[in-house]
């Protein structure tokens, strides 16, 4: 019950911070965030801050998860690619909104842990792949929506090629110290939506190996 109260408070806080998409708020009201953080962090799982996870990675603060998901505009019939699974929390949120989700993670340990958590929590429409996430996952392309959850030097041409007509990409773009949330629209236009700080995207289409 304590986590349910904290989750409800998180939703109220997100609304106060400007999140308006009712489907995003409903999705985040359902996902048990406390199960996706380290055991020692469960008592602060719903605070609006990032938390460390294994392999030097992080689980993003709730506002950033909500804002990125809102910008992505995921529909119930969408086939979604997530670049960087991490804890699996963002994938679970996407799983509440999309038809299905393919999430790619370069760290095999994180991929396996997220795969178990998502299965245990009933997200049968989310598939986790252990691979170089920076280049996406061409085998299941095209995707209606692509979400990048690590700092990127730019929107990779590899990802653009995997996007379905009319699709969009949301990614944190900048240098390794600071980024802005960028939305790439179907016409190739890009818009920026606030400063963020993510761990860097590693791999062929990221900063470096």
Token pair in block for residue 80: 């979604």
| Residue 57 in this model has a pLDDT that exceeds 80 | no
Instruction: State if pTM tops 0.85.
Output: yes
Residue positions annotated with a catalytic role: 60
Tell me phi and psi for residue 175, to 5 degrees: -100, -175
- Check residues 52 and 171 and name the one with the higher pLDDT: 171
Tell me phi and psi for residue 132, to 5 degrees: -70, 100
- Check residues 135 and 33 and name the one with the higher pLDDT: 33
Report d(CA 140, CA 127) in Å as an integer: 11
Residue ranges covered by each domain of the chain? 2-196
Token pair in block for residue 36: 């996706």
Domain 2-196, CATH class in plain words: alpha beta
Token pair in block for residue 199: 């761990």
Token pair in block for residue 21: 């998409």
């Amino acid at each position: 019950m304590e986590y349910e109260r904290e989750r409800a408070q998180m939703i109220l806080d997100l609304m106060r911070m400007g999140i308006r998409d009712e489907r995003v708020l409903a999705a985040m009201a359902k996902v048990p965030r406390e199960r996706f953080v380290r055991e020692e962090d469960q008592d602060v799982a719903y605070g609006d801050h990032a938390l460390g996870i294994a392999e030097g990675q992080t689980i993003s603060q709730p506002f950033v998860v909500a804002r990125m998901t809102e910008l992505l505009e995921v529909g119930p019939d969408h086939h979604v690619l997530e670049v960087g699974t991490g804890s699996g929390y963002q994938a679970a949120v996407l799983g509440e909104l999309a038809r299905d989700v393919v999430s790619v993670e370069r760290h095999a340990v994180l991929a396996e842990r997220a795969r178990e958590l998502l299965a245990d929590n009933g997200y049968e429409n989310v598939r986790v792949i252990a691979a170089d996430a920076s280049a996406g996952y061409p085998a299941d392309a095209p995707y209606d929506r692509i979400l990048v959850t690590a700092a990127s030097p730019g929107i990779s041409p590899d990802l653009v090629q995997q996007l379905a007509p009319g699709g969009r990409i949301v990614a944190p773009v900048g240098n390794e110290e600071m980024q802005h949330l960028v939305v790439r629209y179907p016409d190739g236009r890009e818009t920026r939506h606030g400063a963020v700080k993510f761990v860097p995207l590693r791999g062929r289409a990221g900063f470096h190996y």
